[in-house]
A and B are shown apart, each in its own frame.
Chain A
Amino acid sequence: MGRERTVSLVRVFDAPRSRVFDAWTRAEHLARWFSPKGFTVPACEADARPGGVFRLCMRSPDGREYWMRGAFSEVVVPERLVIAAAADDERGIERIQTVITVTFAAQGGKTKLTLRATAGGDGAEAGAMLDGMEQGWTETIGRLAAHLAN
């Protein structure tokens, strides 16, 4: 297995935990939010059981399609999901393997969601992409690039 890097995000949603959990585990919900702005989801399959399919197509405004194909590897209702998937580019070539861990914590009527997206790949290209994911380097490079671009 190649190197792995992680992106972490925490959000609080003004919705009860069961609803936020459902949004991640039912295709009819996923299809309505799991895509960047302007994209549509022409296909989505979700079977939220360990080993169950997680498969989704994101179509860009200009018609290009990006598939995520994988499975739920852990499902602990209503507090934890782990999805292992591959992400393809618009030509359908697999580019990245990613493991998404989502935890849901109830906070009164709200839900604190923690997402960790780990990406790994064996190819030299994926590995090199991941070299850039080191947080400290990223910030430094970003500052330097911005400085040099002016």
Chain B
Amino acid sequence: MVKYADEQLDAVFGALADRTRRHILDSLSGGGRAVSELAAPHDMSLPGVMKHLRVLEDAGLVARTKEGRVVSCELSAEPMKAAAGWVSRYEKFWSEQLDSLARYLYQQEELQRWNPLESKPGPSSSSSAATRSRRKNSGAPGPTRKR
């Protein structure tokens, strides 16, 4: 399950607030790299790169793997997607709701043409209802977080 934590977001933005680390992430966008490869373009010592990689790892942005004696890094973009995900999903939820309202109003309009009986006014009355089935549409789930 993807966890949204203050601490995680702090760590992500802290990690991104350094141009060397951003460059490292950029280098990894083409795929995993050995740690030694990452050091070269920055004319940095291995310990120097390792320090940056630790920050990126703590933020969950990269993952270290070891094959034999070679330590490599690769991206794990989940934390950033998670941060962007929530609001876009909430916005998507409401956007879909309003799409649904538009379709409903259009349907009502069509029905009205064939059956011109006015629906009863009066929003002061309580009402309850249920629907059993809807038009078959595929669609994304609503305002929940993916696990």
Whether B63 is near chain A, meaning CB under 8 Å from some CB there, is no
- Given known contacts A119-B90, A124-B6, A132-B85, what 6 new A-B pairs fall within 8 Å (CB)? A33-B104, A131-B83, A132-B82, A141-B80, A142-B84, A150-B29
**With a CB–CB cut-off of 8 A, which chain B residues contact A42?**
130-132
Whether A80 is near chain B, meaning CB under 8 Å from some CB there, is no
Q: Is the CB of B129 within 8 A of A28?
A: yes
Binary interface profile of A, 28-66, with partner B (CB < 8 Å = 1, else 0)? 111111111111111111111100110000101100101
Whether A69 is near chain B, meaning CB under 8 Å from some CB there, is no
Chain B interface size, under 10 / 10 to 19 / 20 to 34 / 35 or more: 35 or more
Which of B4, B16, B85, B145 has the most chain A CB within a 10 Å cutoff? B4
**With a CB–CB cut-off of 8 A, which chain B residues contact A28?**
127, 129
Bound CA span A142–B129, Å: 39
**With a CB–CB cut-off of 8 A, which chain B residues contact A75?**
123
**With a CB–CB cut-off of 8 A, which chain A residues contact B23?**
none
Q: Is the CB of B102 within 8 A of A13?
A: yes
Q: Which of B25, B121, B124, B134 is in CB contact (< 8 Å) with A39? A: B134
Q: Which of A31, A34, A128 is in CB contact (< 8 Å) with B130? A: A31
Q: Is the CB of A127 within 8 A of B85?
A: no
Q: Is the CB of B108 within 8 A of A132?
A: no
Bound CA span A3–B83, Å: 15
Q: Is the CB of B128 within 8 A of A125?
A: no
Whether B95 is near chain A, meaning CB under 8 Å from some CB there, is yes
Whether A113 is near chain B, meaning CB under 8 Å from some CB there, is yes
Residue in A closest to B97 when the chains form the complex, CB atoms: A34
Q: Is the CB of B137 within 8 A of A145?
A: no
Whether B91 is near chain A, meaning CB under 8 Å from some CB there, is yes
